[in-house]
Amino acid sequence: MNKSKSIWLLPLRSVVFLLFFVLVGAISGLSDISSWWTVVATAVNVFTIIILVICAGKEGKTFKEKINYEKGKTSVKQVILVSLLIIVVGMGVMYLSAFVIYGTVMPSAAAMMAAPVSKPLAILVFLLLPVTTALAEDGLYLGFGVNGIKNKWCAILIPAFFFALQHCFIPTLFDLKYVLYRFFSFLPLTIILCWHYYKNRNPLPIMIGHALIDLATVIMVLSTSMVPGLYEKMLEQL
């Protein structure tokens, strides 16, 4: 798999999420399939990582080589600065997008991301989702996306577009406001991350910062799953 071919992997996660939520929702008849997005995302992450490892192997590389990981290249300062950047930009733009589109910084679409699941699954998600998301998403959009395109701005903007687009389908809701809210909540951050990676070719600070912001989300899911009535109280306050 050469550079020109690797970019065809970029829509992978968007397609998988869309198909899963639509098909499984239709087949199972579950009206609340979107509430299980953390479980679905964890499974899709594992699937994505397997695909990326296979594709890297076809190029004669390891996954680490494909994402340009080098042991000892990252300093604590880099991790702190990039993590702060991800948290501030990620949360700030999300609140701004919510306010512009919904007129409030905490719409029901945002609260839905903290929907509870069964306690065993909540613990599993807590342990696996942040790490697997960083490996799957950053591996795909940075390692295969940014590294797979020669032109500078195409290498930044095309992966960033698909990086943000996938969030429109996690979970999948056929509502224009929701899609716009999800897309624009992530696009500025994904552009920054792709630009930073293009410039430095060091995935570790981005992956750590990415895992930390996802950790905050799964802590909320763990809380609503462990404390009966907490999620309902959150919804009542909206």
pLDDT at 184: 98
pLDDT at 6: 75
The alpha carbon dihedral of 125, 31, 175, 92 has a sign of: negative
Q: Is 169 helix (H, G, I), strand (E, B) or coil?
A: strand
pLDDT at 24: 79
- Which pair of tokens denotes residue 91? 């949360």
The number of C-alpha atoms within 13 Å of 2 and in the hemisphere containing its C-beta is 2
What's this model's pTM, rounded to 2 decimal places?
Answer: 0.94
Residue 7's alpha-carbon distances to 122, 215, 220, in angstroms, are 33, 28, 34
Closest by Cα among 29, 6, 42, 21 to 168: 21
DSSP state of 8: G
Are the beta carbons of 225 and 102 closer than 8 angstroms? no
Per-10-residue mean pLDDT, the chain, length 238: 70 95 74 84 97 95 95 94 97 97 92 92 97 98 96 96 97 93 98 98 97 96 95 85
pLDDT at 190: 98
How many Å apart are CA 76 and CA 67, to the nearest integer?
Answer: 20
